[in-house]
Amino acid sequence: MIKIVKFTILIAGLWLITLFTFRVINNDKVAVIVTDWGQPEGFSESYYQGIAQRSRIGIASTSEGEKCTENFVGEFPYRSSMGSYPHVSSFLTNGFEEYFDNYGMYRFDATQDLYTNVLDESVTLSKKEADKYEIIKVTGSGDGYGRRNILTVDPRNGVDPLPDYYKIFASNGIQDVREQDVVFYRRNNKLLGAEKETTGMHPMTDFMEIYLTEFIGDYFGNQVKIRFGMYEKNSGYSARHDDVAWAMARWGGFKNMLLTRETTDHNFYANHFMTRNKVSYKLCKSGLDSRVDLKQIRQVGRTPEYNLMLIHNMKRYLEKYSEDEELSLIYATYGLPWPGRDPKGPLGAPHPWIKEVYHENAFNNYLSFKRYVEAYYDQKSGGRWNINFNRSDGFGSNDSRTKSLYGYSRFPSTIFGHPDDELRFETIRDQLEQAIKIDNKKNIIIVPSHWYYNGQDTSLKIRELNQLPLNSVDEMNQGIFDISWCEKYESNGSLTQLLNQGLNCPDDYSKITLMETFDEVREEFNVGYAQRIRGGIEQFGVLPDLDIEILASGPVSYLNGGTVEINNGRLKGAKLFVREDPHPNKPESYSFESSYRHENSKSPNTDGDAIRPFNEFKNHDDHLISAWFDFNAMIGIQNKSKPNEFMPNLVNAVSQSIYFGPYRTLFNAPASITIPIDTSKISSNSKIQAYIFNDLSQSFEPVFHTPGGSNITIDMNLGTASFDTQVLGVFAIGLE
């Protein structure tokens, strides 16, 4: 186990200073930049102001066809790098000034009868001046999204966390959304007990930096340099990722650059807009973009290591239930808007939510996790518990989205589709209401699987949006972020919750537990993340110190797929087949205008060709994409599992173990693997199984059925076995 110590970006800062002294050339080496939201451990005013600006407002295009704005969205003059707000709210626009500045946020000092602005303390109003305008409390009893009451009181005790904050409806020369953001974060941090200015990095981020730095040194030596940069800097502790990338390109001389994110589910908002686009813009503005080959690792979910980590994380919660009780699992992920807002004009929000492949990726990750739960814990596969994954309504198989207890978390329910749309995306609360009110489920565990630590999202935001109870500040200060409570829906449809009694619920209530994220399994999480980064480095042709011999390689493309095969020698017949894109130009061509919108919505579109989200993956071509990007595929032998350990043998193997890479490369439409086998070890009634090496357990485990994939097949004439997979690695064939 790695010893947990306080670790900051101070080392990275010293490295940057060194680079400014002289420029070096590292054309053959790889620069890895690990990036993240970079949330401080406590409260940092500058961080939260900066992250709000960078993540939702961004930069406006100043002229049509402006250099370096190729990745901006919207039509000029309403074009910007983010486009998630209406343009006129993000940028002061002639003729639309009231959308930019219509009110002000102030803190009232009763001793001076003075209102002081939350962003600029030089902007003040006396009580006499303020009384000329409409004034409302910032914190009230609203839903958090309306004009009147923008934030709620503490749901645990009804106490107002911002008792002296007011919204005054008079323009003051300061952007409204920035004022609202800073109040929002001040309120959140008070509810989380993080009021003090302790601005160190979150302990999980510190741990990650230590672990990954040691991993890169052990596996790649001086061939790879790893640095850490965040979406917004935490002064004295972290740097912005685009600044780190610029320094590594300009002064480090790195041509090969890998950008990584630890998020479970790949989405364009985080990986394209926040990660790659900001780095690309910085490099372009500096004239460095042509020097750098940027590649990305966009998610960590769906790998054997990630799924096994989740299995280990949930065991302590399962053990609170007996084998006789049915236990329902609600899988919780972030969720992104569908289909988004109308992008046109000054009041449009052009961020292309409708083009998101997030929805497909996240559900594939859920199904991959589900196979592990079935194999390890479900009674139907020999496990201890009677586990339910489904709701009674919906349509399709039990692996369909509309029949799954699969919930979005991070936005209001209305963001995910019209309430009457049978293909809308359900929230955690939607799933709880169905499970308790309709299906009468008595034991429910909510499994968060997107966020790698217990931050603001899981501790506060998703709970308020889904009516889940909060831990006390004392519990959070002790590192306790799981919680159990009792719920029932009354005959009139209202919700009743009993708190502070754990799972000791009356008979007519359902028992609910919200699990923690991954703080307690932090090393296991980082084992999986490190292996994903390893695969990203391998995309540049740089291999780890694991005694790997490549016997065949060849190109695979995002659009056309590809085939790589060993045609002679001891591994003759080993093959990787990646399917072509089953739906070229989708979701890239999707638009809000052509999306389905229910007949009862404000702007209906029920045309038969309207774009609708998927429900399930019955076949390979039910996925929108196959490979995620162009890459050079490799087949060979990996003799070591770690730099100082040999690869273990698979018991009952009928093949050699074979490396297919780049390591942990992911697919949506399953790729097919073919492996030569020893047919003399297989009788007519033998059952064979494909296995994949898991770096967390350091052992081989079954390759489970993939969404839309085919079962394993044997060709006795050719002496091969073929199977489908959504992730590359080291595979072998063995007898069951």
Residues in the chain: 736
Residues 274 and 384 in one domain: no
Residues 154 and 232 in one domain: no
Mean pLDDT over 544-558 rounds to 98
Question: How do residues 500-514 score in pLDDT, each as one tens digit?
Answer: 999 999 999 999 999
Question: Residue 601 domain-assigned?
Answer: no
Question: How do residues 585-600 score in pLDDT, each as one tens digit?
Answer: 999 999 999 999 999 9
Distance (Å, rounded) from C-alpha 546 to C-alpha 528? 17
Count other C-beta atoms under 10 Å from residue 47's C-beta.
24
Question: How do residues 419-432 score in pLDDT, each as one tens digit?
Answer: 999 999 999 999 99
Mean pLDDT over 552-568 rounds to 98
Cα 379 to its chain centre, rounded Å, is: 30
Count other C-beta atoms under 10 Å from residue 520's C-beta.
17
Residues 72, 266: contact at Cβ < 8 Å? no
- 703: alpha, beta or left, given left = phi > 0 and alpha = psi -120 to 50? beta
Instruction: Give the residue from 259, 297, 269 showing the smallest Cα distance to 665.
Output: 297
Instruction: Quote the percentage of the chain above a pLDDT of 70.
Output: 95
Count other C-beta atoms under 10 Å from residue 606's C-beta.
10
Instruction: Give the residue from 31, 35, 34, 36 showing the smallest Cα distance to 248.
Output: 31
Distance (Å, rounded) from C-alpha 44 to C-alpha 198? 8
Tokens found for residue 254: 């790195």
Residues 364 and 230 in one domain: no
* CATH number assigned to the domain comprising residue 221: 3.40.50
Looking at residue 24, its pLDDT comes to 63
Q: Any alpha helices (H) in 379-521, and if so which ranges?
A: 428-433, 456, 462-465, 473-477
Residues 671 and 547 in one domain: yes
Tokens found for residue 512: 């609910």
Question: Residue 50 domain-assigned?
Answer: no
Does 148 have pLDDT greater than 60? no
Count other C-beta atoms under 10 Å from residue 553's C-beta.
14
* CATH number assigned to the domain comprising residue 709: 2.60.220.30
Mapped onto helix, strand or coil, the DSSP state of residue 562 is strand
Distance (Å, rounded) from C-alpha 227 to C-alpha 233? 14
Q: What are phi and psi of 36, to 5 degrees?
A: -170, 175
Cα 370 to its chain centre, rounded Å, is: 18
Tokens found for residue 124: 């003040």
724, containing H or E segment: strand 720-727
Looking at residue 197, its pLDDT comes to 63
17, containing H or E segment: helix 10-21
Does 13 have pLDDT greater than 70? no
Question: Residue 533 domain-assigned?
Answer: no
Question: How do residues 77-114 score in pLDDT, each as one tens digit?
Answer: 999 999 999 999 999 999 999 999 999 999 999 999 99
Q: How far is CA 173 from CA 4, 50, 104, 170, in A?
A: 46, 19, 9, 10
Question: How do residues 655-691 score in pLDDT, each as one tens digit?
Answer: 999 999 999 999 999 999 999 999 999 987 789 999 9
Residues 99 and 130 in one domain: yes
Adjacent-strand bridge partners of 621: none
Q: Examine the fold and report which residue of 191, 218, 238 is the final residue of a domain before the chain moves on.
A: 191
Question: Residue 55 domain-assigned?
Answer: no
Q: What are phi and psi of 50, to 5 degrees?
A: -70, -40
Looking at the 3D structure of the chain, how many domains does it have? 4
Cα 384 to its chain centre, rounded Å, is: 30
Residues 438 and 560 in one domain: no
Does 141 have pLDDT greater than 80? no
Distance (Å, rounded) from C-alpha 560 to C-alpha 530? 29
Question: Residue 614 domain-assigned?
Answer: no
Q: Identify the residue whose tokens are 């001793």.
A: 111
Mean residue pLDDT across the chain: 93
Q: How far is CA 563 from CA 494, 518, 554, 574, 668, in A?
A: 57, 37, 8, 11, 17
Residues 626, 582: contact at Cβ < 8 Å? yes
Instruction: Give the residue from 271, 456, 481, 444 showing the smallest Cα distance to 357.
Output: 271
Residues 29 and 163 in one domain: no
CA 275, 276, 281, 283 torsion: positive or negative? positive
Domain residues for 283? 10-41+199-297
- The end-to-end CA distance of the chain, in Å, is 33
Q: Examine the fold and report which residue of 172, 191, 210 is the final residue of a domain before the chain moves on.
A: 191
Count other C-beta atoms under 10 Å from residue 558's C-beta.
16
Radius of gyration of the chain (CA): 27
Residues 551 and 441 in one domain: no
Question: How do residues 191-214 score in pLDDT, each as one tens digit?
Answer: 998 766 667 899 999 999 999 999
Count other C-beta atoms under 10 Å from residue 293's C-beta.
13
| pTM of the model as a whole | 0.95
Mean pLDDT over 229-245 rounds to 95
Question: How do residues 636-655 score in pLDDT, each as one tens digit?
Answer: 999 999 999 999 999 999 99
Mean pLDDT over 474-484 rounds to 95
- 83: alpha, beta or left, given left = phi > 0 and alpha = psi -120 to 50? left
DSSP 141-175: SS-SSSSS--EE--TTT---SSTTEEEE-S--SS-
Question: Residue 460 domain-assigned?
Answer: yes
What's the pLDDT band for 26 if we cut at 50, 70, 90? confident
DSSP 662-673: STT-EEEEEEEE
Residues 720, 712: contact at Cβ < 8 Å? no
Question: Residue 63 domain-assigned?
Answer: no
Residues 511 and 557 in one domain: no
* Share in percent of the chain as helix, strand, coil (round to 5): 30, 25, 45
Residues 292 and 311 in one domain: no
Residues 171 and 312 in one domain: no
Residue ranges of E strands in 243-340? 254-261, 293-297, 326-333
Q: Identify the residue whose tokens are 């609600």.
A: 330
What's the pLDDT band for 19 if we cut at 50, 70, 90? very low
Adjacent-strand bridge partners of 637: 549
Bridge-based pairing state of the strands 386-388 and 443-448 = unpaired
Number of H helices, E strands in the chain: 17, 31
Q: Identify the residue whose tokens are 């008595």.
A: 442
Residue ranges of E strands in 182-277? 224-230, 254-261
Q: Examine the fold and report which residue of 141, 159, 191 is the final residue of a domain before the chain moves on.
A: 191
Question: Residue 486 domain-assigned?
Answer: yes
Bridge-based pairing state of the strands 114-117 and 326-333 = unpaired
Residues 254 and 371 in one domain: no
